Amino acid sequence: MVDEKGKIKNRKIVNTEIQVQTEIARILNQIPNMEPATYNGKEVGVIYTFPIVWGTKE
């Protein structure tokens, strides 16, 4: 979720490996605040999916 201030909150990382979850959390923590969504002129939080492709090049 991106809250009404543009901060990433309540993130859910879908992966079973703890090392991958930790690295993705580290990456997400480095993302600067986003521009918040607005509804009827008010800043609101929104659910946002941020896909991260993880793997090795072949």
Q: Dump pLDDT digits (tens) for 36-53.
A: 999 999 999 999 887 877
pLDDT of residue 11: 85
Domain count within the chain? 1
CB atoms within 10 A of CB 6: 14
Is the pLDDT score of 20 beyond 90? no
pLDDT category, 6, cuts 50, 70, 90?
A: very high
Query: Mean pLDDT highest for which of 1-10, 12-21, 44-53?
Result: 1-10
The domain containing residue 3 runs over which residues? 1-58
pLDDT of residue 28: 86
